[in-house]
Structure 1
Amino acid sequence: MKNQIVIGIDVGGSHITAGIVDLEARKLQEKRLMRCPVDSKGEEKMILEQWCEAIVPLVPELGLESLRLGIAMPGPFDYDAGISFIGSTQDKYEALYGKNIKELLASKLGIKTSQIRFKNDAACFLQGELFAGSAQGFKRAIGMTLGTGAGTAFFHGTEAHDAARWGDSFKEGIAEQYFSSRWFLQKYHELTGKEIIGVRDLAELEDLPLKTAIFTEFGQNLGLFLSRFASEEEAEVVVLGGSITHSSDLFMAEVKSQVARECGNVSIRKSLLGEQAALIGAASCWYESIS
């Protein structure tokens, strides 16, 4: 059973989450979940130490020799070699630019580089949903995470890959301008002249007509974008995740209606695994090699 256990890790801009994933059961051991803050603007040594604060407490259960790490990492990144190309334009992890993170982390943990695998974070989200969530059984799928940014991924029957459609041309700008939390803040300010902290605050507004108008416009835009994305990838299912989907009851009907008109019978599903999707997806990159 031990060789079926992998540590799944999700590296974010402000925190790192690590958990033990049982690949046979396709489940995360929630009681052992580690979540630690990270100063992504810090120096290399500090960043690695903060990452290890989340990973090291989980190691004794597995032992160093049998340890396997699957890491969901934002790009740009050379996932096979383990080299980071995240630079100043991403406003995080500049200290790791050009460094071989696989070698640095392996040295820090006292393991071999062959015990570490990296995968794009958006691809890990979709892979997790395919492996143990709402997209199980589908042969062609796309996924999109909606939060501070917009992550996209596709699956054609083997493994999920980063689709990198955040920069796709859309309306008067690019996709990420319309499908991130910034859009909601800007739209609210445009309509009211006031500021709002986040999407959750907008969802809790008592001004129903205003709230409905903003979320309806978001849903219509998202439906248009997903229709094109799904059509080009010949997707059978679309999976949506990220913090904005916590308010999906306010826009999902518009998304489904738009996609139905443009693409017909494509299933639109909300993430079943939530934040666990990236962890399980990252760990599942070991599934074939150790099963």
Structure 2
Amino acid sequence: MSGHPGSKPARTVVTVAIDAGGTSMKGGVLENGILLPEPYLEQPSRSEADAESIVAHFASLIIRLAGAYMKGSGTPEHDVTFRIGTAFPGPFDYERGISRIRGLGKYEQLYGLPVGELLKKELRRRAGLPGSDPWMRMLAAADIAFGNDAVLFGMGAAKRFPAERLLCLTLGTGLGSVFMDRGRAVSGLDGVPESGMLYAETFEGEPVDGQFGRRGVLALADALHARRQGDDVIDLAAAAARGESAALRVWHDYGERLGRMLRPYAAAFRPDRLILGGQIAKSLPIFGASLTHALLPVRLPVLYEDDLLRQVFYGADMLFD
């Protein structure tokens, strides 16, 4: 037994971490800063629904995760402090928990609403229902924090490299980005955009976001006449892995363009390494050589993080640091 005589044992800090994507919501649990292998849950996001339905659906996932943790851990409810950390797509006022998403085909009905307050209200309502578990009251009292998914990915990745500068990208539907300096996100300094992100920057006259996510890969393939009808990014990656020259050209050009886009930011920010995550980043072995060559004279290690969600969950936990 540790501690001073008569002192109370430390409470267990439990973070329910949520990645609220446009298609699905995924959730995990961290206990005292350590991501547990279970529970892990996933459900459709229903992001096209009305605000009340979205919030109720969101609350259900949180309750299921917390309930699975309480059942499996055996920790008494009075010894638990719950926190809820959420990766939410932008635009979003992360400090105030207010959605600014409009015109993107997801979470439209949350525009201008205080999502954090609505979620807390729903958790309190359910905690007050007859027959609710005692730990529900603790969950309803949880602090709630929001962060951009790419920023949380960078925060999680920075746990491995706490003394370094990192440029982190998520390459999937679009391009997510964050510049990290010793565990802190940077904006408006050392060549970093005021927003701290690259998605709204332009490259060759067009927004970056549309050029280096899924749409950009497919547009590049179409321009090079390298895509068969119905092919998606995963098909182009498979074709390149088989050695098909047309697909290899797509990925070579993708890496070269990505490197040229990043070069001025990397030259000014001088990161110690570039870390990539997301579906498109799985093809780094194919486009990595053209990427690193296009970055010259900037030289830096390029790493692929194969468990993006794990880093996002760790970032969600770090929102409370």
TM-score normalised per structure 2: 0.80
Indicate the residue corresponding to 1:176 in structure 2: 209
Number of residue equivalences: 279
Equivalent of 1:20, from 8, 25, 29?
Answer: 29
| SS at structure 2 position matched to 1:81 | coil
Structure of higher RCO (CA pairs closer than 8 Å, 6+ residues apart):
1
Amino acid at match of 1:250: I
CA gap 1:46/1:197 in 2 versus in 1, 3 angstroms: farther
* C-alpha distance after superposition, 1:34-58 (max 9, x if no partner): 1110121110112112222321112
What SS does the aligned partner of 2:81 have?
A: coil
CA distance in 1, matches of 2:40, 2:90: 24
**1:117 CA drift (Å):** 1.0
1:199 shift after superposition: 1.0
Matched, 1:157 2:182: yes
Q: Which residue of 1 aligns with 2:128?
A: none
Do the aligned residues in 1 keep the contact of 2:82 with 2:142 (CA within 8 Å)? no
More divergent stretch after superposition (40-49 vs 182-191): 182-191
Corresponding residue SS for 1:32: strand
1:262 to 278, 290, 297: 297
Contact 1:140 1:235 in 2 (8 A): yes
Q: Is the 8 A contact 1:84 1:99 kept in 2?
A: yes
Deviations 1:9-49 (A, max 9, x none): 1111111111012344x4x2233111110121110112112
Mind listing any 5+ residue stretches in structure 2 that lack a counterpart? 1-9, 71-76, 125-138, 187-194
More helix by share: 1
Deviation at 1:178, TM superposition (A): 1.8
**C-alpha contact 1:144 1:152 (8 A) present in aligned 2:** yes
List aligned pairs for 1:42-61, cutoff 5 A: 42-60=49-67, 61=69
Question: Residue in 2 aligned with 1:283?
Answer: 317
Does 1:40 pair with 2:55?
Answer: no
Larger Rg: 2
Q: CA, structure 1 residues 113+93, in 2 after alignment: closer, same or farther (shift >3 Å)?
A: farther
Amino acid at match of 1:22: E
* SS of match in other structure, 2:86: strand
Is residue 2:15 matched to residue 1:6? yes
Query: CA offsets per residue over residues 174-219 of structure 1, 9 Å max, x none?
Result: 2122201112222222333743442111111256110110000000
- Of 232, 239, 242, the match for 2:278: 242
Distance 1:245 1:23 in 2: 31
TM-score, length-normalised on structure 1? Answer: 0.88
Q: Distance in 2 between matches of 1:46 and 1:239?
A: 36
